[in-house]
Amino acid sequence: SFEAVVDERPITKFRTKAVQALLIYLVCQPESHARETLMTLLWPDLPLKSAQANLRHALYHLKQVVPEVDGLANEAVPFVVADRQTIQINPDGRFHLDITQFETLCQSKEPENWESAVSLYRGDFLSDFFMPD
């Protein structure tokens, strides 16, 4: 499953599945991504101009949903940074992925960490997420 929480507030509405997919991809792969790569991933069958427009709209709506996060120096920073060629999660921003915490706890040799991992588990990752054709 997937749940996004910002400032202790769950994000329950995404304008489109593509906006949600963009968020999921960017947080799970936090390095810089070429816009072309993201367009191919999210809209593989669309002409270039349509895919570009869709990516611009998805990025705009993602920035509306998650405009800023706390930065490493405790100042607010944009959650997503983008230029004409690339898009990525702001490397100066702080955010938390429970899947990373879950994986770390599962690899521990301490049984109490396994119990913590079990308490984090809410089902298979993204099992209820799909992109329509």
Q: How much is the pLDDT for 12?
A: 75
Q: Stretch 47-67: mean pLDDT, rounded?
A: 94
The model's pTM: 0.76
Query: What residue ranges define each of the domains in the chain, with the CATH number in brackets?
Result: 4-94 (1.10.10)
For the ranges 20-29, 41-50, 91-100, the lowest mean pLDDT is seen at: 91-100
Supply the pLDDT for residue 2: 66
pLDDT at 133 > cutoff 70: no
Look up residue 34 and give its amino acid: A
pLDDT band at 63 (very low <50, low <70, confident <90, very high): very high
Provide the pLDDT for residue 45.
Answer: 94
What DSSP string runs through 17-53? HHHHHHHHHHHHS-S-EEHHHHHHHH-TTS-HHHHHH
Give the model's pLDDT for residue 60: 96
